[in-house]
């Protein structure tokens, strides 16, 4: 839950706004974004990593409001598509503080990035190095470049979000020599300013030993570049991926502890290698925005089923589902839920919070104990939905994507409005 979340007489409030009032005003389902909490987490990373640049990973959640908050809090921004770049531009974000990622950026996206003057493009293939070099020559411009490398680390996280082992699509392999060759080619291109190496080992990671191994391998390459090519790269990026607590069993990311650990690892390696050490940057997304949002749903139906061994489970159907949170279905992610609109004295019942989509895998929260009298009209809130929920939301079954409602000091403001059927029909041009 975000830091301003509180429950009084069974009613949950965020940012001083009781959720029943928020739903009465803005409808349900809705994502609720706690401004004070978001800013505090952004600041905590910026302050803990005071000697680093902190790039917020926009893929976790991006909109023009967040772009403005980030600019005000002094963070940098990682975007990974033309669309995210457009939101950053619309929000007035300083282009020199943007890093542009992606393993298959289009020619158009690369041209725009160079024209807009983004601070750095993180290159991810030899084809891209060639394309970017050609663009800078054609436009008579230069651009800062980082080389995305694969450190060969097995990060302990879901297979789909681990990115530093050899057999996946991202980065140049250090082990095969491709990474060194990429550095050579970037250095040789007149329009490309070689800034440094970039490594991102995966997401929702708690064990810092993966970062340690990656940092050691990337720094070794950094030193090799200096020795063999005589090139001192000024920067290095160690990516994002810091895990957050989705349920009470998880141990959340503490920026100060992370910063201390990572700085120690890097300083130690630099000493061992006898190098000065580059300016570091990191790219947290989830650890900033994840806990800052929750989703509030209205219960529509409740159904009890018998389980083996005489147990019962209640299926609590809410007015959203896999279209606003795909993470449970996609990564088997764990979430929790709570009754948010009234007190209940009734004992807990094993419940599964499910959506309204046409498939059985449409589960929001797999297992949760909710009061046995949960009924239609109740509000249920799910914490920790700030990262990769709205940003991965879909229109499956022609669902309308929910709004993002900001809360601050007892007031609400609409950050993203609810979609309408007119929005859906706008793309359906109907030719036949």
| Residue 204 interacting with ligand LLP (CB under 6 A) | yes
**Is 327 known as a binding-site position?**
yes
Residue from 286, 356, 390, 401 in contact with ligand LLP (CB under 6 A)? 286
- Binders of ligand LLP among residues 137 to 156 (CB under 6 A) are none
Residue from 41, 97, 112, 200 in contact with ligand LLP (CB under 6 A)? 200
CB-nearer residue toward ligand LLP: 334 or 419:
334
- Residues in contact with ligand LLP, counted by CB under 6 A, come to a total of 22
- Binders of ligand LLP among residues 160 to 179 (CB under 6 A) are 161
- Binders of ligand LLP among residues 75 to 94 (CB under 6 A) are 78
CB-nearer residue toward ligand LLP: 385 or 412:
385
Residue from 37, 283, 319, 368 in contact with ligand LLP (CB under 6 A)? 283
- φ, ψ dihedrals at 360, nearest 5°: -70, -25
| Residue 284 interacting with ligand LLP (CB under 6 A) | yes
Question: What is the nearest approach in angstroms of ligand LLP to the Cβ of residue 157?
Answer: 8
Q: Is the dihedral of CA 328, 334, 340, 343 positive or negative?
A: positive
Residue from 26, 41, 46, 101 in contact with ligand LLP (CB under 6 A)? 101
In whole angstroms, what is the distance from residue 213 CA to residue 189 CA?
30
Question: What is the nearest approach in angstroms of ligand LLP to the Cβ of residue 425?
Answer: 29
Question: What is the nearest approach in angstroms of ligand LLP to the Cβ of residue 96?
Answer: 19
CB-nearer residue toward ligand LLP: 322 or 387:
387
CB-nearer residue toward ligand LLP: 206 or 315:
206
Stretch that binds ligand LLP, among 55-63, 306-314, 373-381, 421-429 (CB under 6 A): 55-63
**Residues noted as catalytic:** 358
Stretch that binds ligand LLP, among 207-215, 238-246, 267-275, 311-319 (CB under 6 A): 238-246
**Is 285 known as a binding-site position?**
yes
Stretch that binds ligand LLP, among 9-17, 124-132, 137-145, 281-289 (CB under 6 A): 281-289
Residue with tokens 């949960």: 374
Question: What is the nearest approach in angstroms of ligand LLP to the Cβ of residue 275?
Answer: 24
- Positions at the binding site: 241, 283-286, 327, 331, 359, 388
Could you list the residues that contact ligand LLP (CB under 6 A)? 57, 59-60, 78, 101, 161, 200, 203-204, 239-242, 283-287, 327, 331, 387-388
């Amino acid at each position: 839950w975000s830091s301003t979340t509180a429950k009084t007489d069974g009613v949950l409030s965020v940012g001083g706004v009781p959720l029943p009032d928020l739903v009465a005003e803005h409808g349900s389902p809705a994502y609720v974004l706690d401004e004070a909490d978001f800013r505090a987490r952004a600041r905590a990373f910026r302050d803990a990593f005071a000697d680093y640049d902190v790039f917020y990973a926009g893929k976790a959640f991006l909109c023009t409001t967040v772009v403005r908050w980030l600019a005000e809090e002094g963070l940098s921004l990682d975007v990974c598509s033309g669309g995210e770049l457009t939101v950053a531009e619309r929000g007035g974000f300083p282009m020199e503080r943007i890093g542009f990622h992606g393993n298959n950026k289009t020619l158009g996206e690369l041209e725009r990035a160079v024209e807009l003057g983004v601070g750095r493009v993180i290159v991810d293939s030899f084809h891209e190095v060639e394309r970017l070099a050609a663009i800078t020559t054609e436009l008579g411009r230069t651009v800062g470049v980082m080389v995305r490398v694969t450190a060969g680390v097995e990060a302990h996280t879901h297979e789909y979000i681990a990115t530093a082992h050899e057999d996946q699509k991202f980065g140049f392999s250090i082990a095969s020599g491709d990474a060194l060759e990429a550095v050579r080619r970037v250095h040789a291109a007149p329009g490309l300013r070689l800034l440094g190496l970039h490594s991102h080992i995966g997401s929702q990671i708690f064990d810092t030993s993966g970062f340690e191994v990656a940092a050691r391998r990337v720094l070794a390459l950094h030193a090799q570049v200096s020795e063999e090519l005589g090139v001192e790269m000024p920067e290095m990026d160690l990516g994002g991926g810091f895990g957050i607590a989705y349920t009470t069993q998880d141990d959340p990311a503490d920026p100060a502890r992370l910063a201390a650990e990572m700085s120690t690892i890097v300083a130690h390696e630099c000493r061992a290698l006898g190098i000065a050490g580059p300016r570091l940057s990191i790219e947290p997304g989830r650890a900033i925005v994840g806990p800052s949002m929750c989703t509030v749903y209205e219960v529509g139906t409740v159904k009890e089923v018998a389980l083996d061994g005489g147990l019962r489970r209640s299926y609590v159907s809410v007015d959203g589902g896999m279209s606003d949170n795909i993470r449970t279905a996609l990564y088997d992610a764990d979430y929790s839920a709570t009754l948010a609109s009234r007190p209940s004295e009734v004992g807990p019942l094993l419940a599964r919070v499910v959506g309204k989509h046409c498939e059985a895998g449409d589960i929001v929260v797999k297992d949760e104990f909710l009061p046995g009298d949960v009924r239609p009209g109740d509000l249920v809130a799910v914490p920790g939905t700030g990262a990769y929920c709205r940003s991965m939301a879909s229109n499956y079954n022609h669902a309308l994507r929910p709004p993002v409602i900001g809360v601050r000091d007892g007031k609400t403001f609409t950050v993203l409005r609810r979609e309408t059927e007119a929005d859906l029909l706008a793309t359906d041009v109907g030719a036949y």
